[in-house]
Amino acid sequence: MLHRFLTSSVLFVCSLMFTENSVASSFNIDSTPLASKSQTILAQDSMDNSDTLEKPRIAVIDFDFSSVGSPNLLSLIPGGADGVADILVTALVQGGKYTVVERSEIETILAEQNLGASGRIDASTAAEIGKILGVRAVIIGSVTQFDLQRQSGGGGVFGIGASTQDTDAEVAINARVIDTSTAEILYAIDGKGNQSQSDTQVSIFGVRAGSSTSNEGKLLTLATEQAVKEISDAMGEEASAIATLQKPVPQVDAIVANVSGSTIILNKGTNQGYRTGMTVSIERVTDEIKDPETGEILRKLTTQVAEVKLTDVDGKSSLGEIISGAPPKVGDVAKPMVTE
């Protein structure tokens, strides 16, 4: 009896296990633990967000050196006074979280608009430059320390002497990130760098053995790169926040260069802040108001012909499709309307 009871019990339990597995299989029940599922979903969401996040477009303007005690030392680093901004641009590009405007574009805007002619560029001027360039943020700043410190020492005995020279390069940079839409200073970031070198020279009865080396330029460059890295690392952490800033409307009008059916091509592109998805108003000049004394054109009166949405934009041109209105003509003016 006992043997028969045990056998029946085992068969009953096996039957239950088989039934449970069959039900799970029939309804495709996932037996993965809930915690593992959550981690998988979060990881997938993170991947999806990183794939769709647009890299914010920013510009770096030359840093101010007015407070540096020894400006002649700037000649020791590649690029001289412009070298610090160049190093920061390189670091930001290598970081992969920003699209950085070419320095030549900034120089062109400064020359055309006569901005920064008075010297140091403040937040409001930086915002104005940023709007023309079509960037979300502009980095300006100051090099507050750019120094070399040298210390010498030595001694000798029985005709044998030794001298040492220690060289320290100290660089400190303050960077400010400006919101181009509001001219507000979003972040103030400090970066510091220090590089040292020690040289020893031995002399025997007045005859020098070996020679000291001079790597002052290299030391200053390495210290600058170290200070810039602190700034670029901090900027990398703020990339997501800067990406949410309002995109500025380009301040430069374009001209219709070609019309083919409902497709038009403009003579302005990403170099002037135009971008895919932006809408422009195509305007036709109907009258020109001139100064009666000088003949100078004071104002051009226009009427809207069409609205066009840009679908493909490169550095120097934009291609778009008419979404309302009549086909424009070559020479009509395109005015940026809204940000997408």
Residues 34, 158: Cα–Cα separation, whole Å: 81
User: In Å, what is the CA distance from 44 to each residue of 8, 38, 41, 49, 174?
Assistant: 48, 10, 5, 9, 38
198 or 1, greater pLDDT: 198
CB 280 within 8 A of CB 307: yes
The confidence band for 280, taking pLDDT boundaries of 50, 70 and 90, is very high
Instruction: Supply the pTM of this predicted model.
Output: 0.62
Instruction: Copy the structure tokens of residue 145.
Output: 């320390």
Residue 118 CA, chain-centre distance (Å), reads 26
With 80 as the cut, is the pLDDT of residue 44 above it?
no
| Rg of the chain on CA atoms, in Å | 33
Residue 48 predicted with pLDDT over 50 = no
> By mean pLDDT, which of 123-127, 212-216, 263-267 is the weakest?
212-216
pLDDT score of 119: 61
pLDDT per residue as tens digits for the range 143-173: 989 888 877 655 555 556 556 678 899 999 9
Name the pairing type of β-strands 254-260 and 207-209: unpaired
Lowest pLDDT segment from 129-133, 230-234, 240-244: 129-133
Q: For the chain, what is the total number of helices (H) and then of strands (E)?
A: 7, 12
What residue ranges define each of the domains in the chain, with the CATH number in brackets?
Answer: 57-147+173-194+213-244 (3.40.50), 254-336 (2.40.10.410)
Q: How far apart are CA 153 and CA 198, in angstroms?
A: 11
Helices 83-95 and 216-237: crossing angle in degrees, nearest 10, is 40
133 close to 59: Cβ distance less than 8 angstroms: yes
Residue 20 banded pLDDT, cuts 50, 70, 90? very low
- What pLDDT does residue 131 have? 84
User: Which of 39-53, 150-164, 191-205, 299-313 is predicted most confidently?
Assistant: 299-313
Residue 13: per-residue pLDDT = 37
Residue 169 has which token pair? 């390069």
% pLDDT > 70, the chain: 72
Confidence band for 64, pLDDT divided at 50, 70 and 90 = confident
pLDDT digits (tens, 9 = 90+) for 318-330: 999 999 999 999 9
Nearest CA among 240, 311, 232 for reference residue 279: 311
Closest CA to 334 of 316, 315, 318: 318
| Burial of 303 (C-beta count, 10 Å sphere; 0-12/13-18/19+) | exposed
For residues 127-151, give the mean pLDDT. Answer: 88
Confidence of residue 339 (pLDDT cuts 50, 70, 90): low
- 209, 202 in Cβ contact below 8 A? yes
pLDDT of 166-218, one tens digit each?
889 999 999 999 999 899 999 999 999 999 887 655 555 455 555 455 588 88
Q: Confidence band (pLDDT; 50, 70, 90) for 29?
A: very low
Cα end-to-end distance, the chain, whole Å? 82
- Identify the pLDDT of residue 198: 74
174: enclosing H helix or E strand: strand 160-179
| Confidence category of residue 18, pLDDT binned at 50, 70, 90 | very low
